[in-house]
Amino acid sequence: AQSVTQLDSQVPVFEEAPVELRCNYSSSVSVYLFWYVQYPNQGLQLLLKYLSGSTLVKGINGFEAEFNKSQTSFHLRKPSVHISDTAEYFCAVTYYGGSQGNLIFGKGTKLSVKP
Amino acid sequence: ETGVTQTPRHLVMGMTNKKSLKCEQHLGHNAMYWYKQSAKKPLELMFVYSLEERVENNSVPSRFSPECPNSSHLFLHLHTLQPEDSALYLCASSQDLSLASGSQFFGPGTRLTVL
């Protein structure tokens, strides 16, 4: 069965510092990958997704992620974070040919940006 | 109202009560979802509806009963719940089940507490 591992449950970082949130998945087949963000008291919002093509994917709010098939990873990065980036971030995966109803989510990483 | 709305935002109920959660999407989407979000656990997909027909039921206890009367509305009827059912219940919608046609849009959730 597919699974997603977000290695860090919490990541504290200072404002304007770079950040990387790690995501690894377990699959021997081609996959689709997603990052969602959840701000306090809100639902999830899509940040970016990888379906095919370039392995470097750019999303909203200055975030980007790189698909690395050999390492089965899809780490999320931002070169300079803001206080407003404080939120919980979820990585999700589904297999090639899957649907919206087959997304497997990680447990989430709470990003805390300090002034 | 725009996007995906959920009511109520907070609900406290006893184990013998019957209540319903409501979700409404104003996006013209054809697929709708119920998720359960518990602390320190991955997001769990409960039900998927496409064109008002249930297409996924992930071994959810029968004390949770979904209803999709039309493509804009989704309900989750609750009865004889257990304290471990306390969680944030998220509703989402998407254009259809295809990953290529767009992502899921989430509502803000209903925070349910079962006493």
Most confident of the ranges A43-57, A75-89, A100-114, B89-103: A75-89
Tokens of A105: 């989510």
- Cβ atoms of residues A63 and A35 within 8 Å: yes
CB proximity A41 to B under 8 Å: yes
pLDDT band at A3 (very low <50, low <70, confident <90, very high): confident
Whole-number percent of chain B with pLDDT over 70? 96
Q: How far is B16 from chain A (nearest CA, A)?
A: 28
Q: Please say if the pLDDT value at position B99 is more than 80.
A: no
What is the structure's pLDDT at B29?
94
Task: From chain A, pick out residues whose CB is under 8 angstroms from the CB of B42.
Answer: 4, 104-108
Tokens of B30: 């054809």
Q: How far is A14 from chain B (nearest CA, A)?
A: 24
Closest C-alpha to B26, from B55, B49, B5: B5
Q: Please say if the pLDDT value at position B1 is more than 60.
A: no
Beta bridge partners of B40: none
pLDDT band at B59 (very low <50, low <70, confident <90, very high): confident
Distances (CA, A) of A1 to A12, A29, A31, B10: 31, 11, 13, 34
Which is more confidently placed, A31 or A56?
A56
Which is more confidently placed, B56 or B11?
B11
- Cβ atoms of residues B31 and B43 within 8 Å: no
Q: Cα-Cα-Cα-Cα dihedral of A39, A45, A47, A51, to 10°?
A: 150
Cis peptide before B8 (omega within 30 of 0): yes
Amino acid (one-letter) located at B4: V
> Would the CB atoms of A99 and B97 count as touching at under 8 Å?
yes
Q: Please say if the pLDDT value at position A20 is more than 80.
A: yes
Helix%, strand%, coil% for chain A, nearest 5: 10, 50, 40
Q: Please say if the pLDDT value at position B102 is more than 90.
A: no
- Cβ atoms of residues A65 and A59 within 8 Å: yes
